[in-house]
Structure 1
Amino acid sequence: MSSTAQKPKYHVVCRECSVERLYDDGDEATDLERKHTKETGHRIVVGRVK
């Protein structure tokens, strides 16, 4: 059995509206977090998932 390394994914969720996305790139996830927070003032959570 061979093991393959899985790339991490980044889950972005707004706690105050319906914005929710999954990214392969941490920088893209952070960009959405910053942009959405700046535009709306909403609380965003970014988490790394397998």
Structure 2
Amino acid sequence: MRSAQNEPKYHVVCRECPVERLFGTGDDATALERTHAEETGHRVVIGRVR
């Protein structure tokens, strides 16, 4: 079994404003990406990190 420290994290960064967050699930990261992009028209990227 993997510990919580080894679980992947998802880093969400807006390329056009200071929005930046770290999530434990891809679903949460994708939700912020979609919501922020729809509300602002900004380009948002998600990167998987450990």
Q: Tell me, yes or no, whether TM beats 0.5.
A: yes
Flag structure 2 segments of 5+ consecutive residues without an equivalent: none
Residue identity (%): 66
Rounded to whole Å, the distance in 1 between the matches of 2:35 and 2:19 is 12
Aligned length: 47
Rounded to whole Å, the distance in 2 between the matches of 1:33 and 1:18 is 13
Structure-2-length-normalised TM-score: 0.89
| Structure number with larger C-alpha Rg | 1
Flag structure 1 segments of 5+ consecutive residues without an equivalent: none
Structure-1-length-normalised TM-score: 0.89
Q: Write 1 or 2 for the structure with the bigger share of helix.
A: 2
